[in-house]
Amino acid sequence: MTGYLYQCELALLELARHSWHDADIEVRMELLDDIEFLDPQETTPRELLQSKHREAAGPLSETGKDFWRSIASWIDALKVLSGTPGTSTPLLRLVSTQIAPESTFLHQLRSGADRDISKALVRMEEVAKDEDGPDTTAKDRALYLKLTPAQRHQLVSAITVNDGAPVMSDLDSKLAKELGITPSDHAQAALDEIKGWWYGMAVRLLERKNPQRMLPSVSAQQLMCRRDEVTDRYAGKNLPITETLRNLTQAEIAGYTDRLVVTQMRWVGLPDSEVAMHLRDYHHARAQRSEWLRTFKITPERLEEYEGELHYEWETTFRRRTRRVRDEMDEEDRQAIGQDILDDTMDRVADTPPRPGSATAPWVAKGSIHGLSDQADTAGPDRALGWHPDYDRLCRRRNETQEQ
């Protein structure tokens, strides 16, 4: 079990390391190898990584299954990749918590001045042919010997042994360093939040049955965005406002005429001037949120949490204001209550930041909750909202009319 958890956290650590020099790189797990790194512009992985965790310190064995099962896995992966046009051999990394002794080919496959492919090839062939070798790796060694000399050279040239990797209990300190989390009173809490997010991503990376849940990869940009969300919250940093608030043109307003966001305001009898004012917030909030997502200033997961917080503020107002609604109440009075719901909601959400601990322009929250009103006919009960006391009935009638 520790080995599986180690693989998951090692993928996070390696992604953080890669992010310093390549923000576009992506990671995935359990497809061609334990961990894979790929460039979104390329058709084949850049790197295949085997993760080997052993709590007990000791030497990495030339005849052991950690190495030879990795060899078998890489041979299978390269066969799959050979069918892809323009394929180049990826880097093949064996990351082990054990140490490669100096007298072994494992030591000769480490990066650095002592690396010697020729000597490693000779010694690997001797080990692979040894009839007294362990039965547990016999099939894997035989698979290696079936390769042509050229294929063996290609395979071994791509291998790098990274021995002496940190054990599970030492990963947190390494991860904090790679994420740039400096020692502070909140360092562990920040690290725990990032790891919690990552385990959720890992579950989706490993999903194979439900396409709705499946996640093909996670990029270094996504990780850095989540890191910034968490660390900035403890530091109180604000999201940048890049939109310049301005009144919309008549043409821009006309573009929203048939949208539910406008219809909802019409149902409570708002005049054109107020509709234009609210549309201004809605228009710019949409653009600002899109910019934050595009530039990895915020994650979709955090925006979903934010919408939940806005919905809570609306629901509190809606329940209070609709307590006095009676069946015999006329439409004019219902519209007046709807206007109160709208006004009170805007006051409540104005200071709700997209990222806890920060501050932002009030129109971001106001426009975002209008975005929820624009989806009231399709959203679930935890996201649907409106201003008119009977907005849900009016939404259903509107949908029926459109279908007809």
pLDDT for residue 233 is more than 80: no
Mean of per-residue pLDDT scores for the chain = 92
Measure the CA angle with vertex 106, ends 105 and 110; round to 5°: 110
pLDDT greater than 90 at residue 404: no
Predicted local distance difference test score (pLDDT) of residue 85: 66
Three-state SS at 84: coil
Prediction pTM value:
0.69
List all residues 6 or more positions away from 128 whose beta carbon is below 8 Å from its beta carbon: 141, 142, 144, 145
| Confidence band for 400, pLDDT divided at 50, 70 and 90 | confident
Summarize the confidence of residues 103-124 as an average pLDDT. Answer: 94
What crossing angle do the helices spanning 117-129 and 138-145 adopt, rounded to 10°? 130
CA distance 90 to 49: 10
Residues 6+ apart with CB under 8 A from 312: none
What lies within 8 Å, CB to CB, of 146 at 6+ separation is none
Output the six-digit token pair for 115: 């690396």
Kindly report, residue by residue over 75-98, the tens digit of the pLDDT.
Answer: 999 999 987 766 789 999 999 999
Per-residue confidence band for 102, with pLDDT thresholds at 50, 70 and 90 = very high
What is the pLDDT, as a whole number, of residue 379? 84
Please indicate whether residue 183 or residue 201 has the higher confidence score (pLDDT).
201
Q: How far apart are CA 203 and CA 258, in angstroms?
A: 40
Tokens 């990394």 sit on residue: 93
Any idea which residue has 């890992």 for tokens? Answer: 202
Q: What region, left, alpha or beta, does residue 80 occupy, with left being phi > 0 and alpha being psi -120 to 50 degrees?
A: alpha
- 138-155, pLDDT tens digit by residue? 999 999 999 999 999 999
pLDDT tens digits for range 33-61: 999 999 988 878 999 999 999 987 789 99
* pLDDT tier for residue 183 given thresholds of 50, 70 and 90: confident
